[in-house]
């Protein structure tokens, strides 16, 4: 299995631009999680889906952030407009089932820099 796939791996953009991060979960996994990691705040859960349905988006920092999961094999995290404080590494993770009885697997992350 290829594992969780994220693209792009690096993104540099200017303040005010729209940014779209992409994730392909492990085949067969029906729960998908978006995290953000910074030195100051550590690893934060932004939103997670089960069977393509958003379960909890309470971690999404602002209305500028939105996430979708149109099918079982694809999810996007969009920031519009982007700001310098959004600079971070964004991770996608997937798991079989919503209950945490199974391991959660992470993608390699997207390093976002907003100038």
Question: Quick one: which segment of 16-24, 64-72, 76-84, 91-99 binds other proteins (CB under 8 A)?
Answer: 91-99
C-alpha span between 25 and 31 (Å, rounded) = 8
- Interaction of residue 107 with other proteins, rule CB under 8 A: yes
Beta bridge partners of 88: 112
Task: Please say which residue, 17 or 27, places its beta carbon nearer to other proteins.
Answer: 27
What angle (nearest 5°) sits at the alpha carbon of residue 55, between those of residues 53 and 56?
140
> Which member of 1, 42, 62, 71 binds other proteins (CB under 8 A)?
42
Q: Of the ranges 17-25, 60-68, 79-87, 97-105, which one interacts with other proteins (CB under 8 A)?
A: 97-105
Q: Which residue has the tokens 């540099």?
A: 12
Query: Which 8-state DSSP code applies to residue 12?
Result: E
d(CA 100, CA 87) in angstroms, rounded, equals 29
Residues found near other proteins in the complex (CB under 8 A):
4, 31, 33, 42-43, 45, 48, 50, 55-56, 91, 93, 98-109, 111
């Amino acid at each position: 299995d290829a594992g969780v796939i994220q693209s792009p791996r690096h993104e540099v953009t200017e303040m005010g631009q729209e940014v779209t991060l992409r994730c392909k979960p492990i085949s067969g996994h029906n729960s998908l999680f978006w995290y953000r990691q910074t030195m100051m705040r550590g690893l934060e859960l932004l939103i997670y889906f089960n069977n393509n349905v958003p379960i909890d988006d309470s971690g999404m920092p602002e209305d500028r952030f939105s996430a979708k999961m149109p099918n079982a094999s694809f999810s996007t995290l969009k920031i519009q407009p982007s700001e310098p404080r959004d600079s971070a590494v964004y991770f996608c993770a997937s798991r079989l089932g919503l209950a945490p009885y199974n391991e959660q697997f992470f993608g390699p992350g997207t390093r976002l820099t907003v100038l």
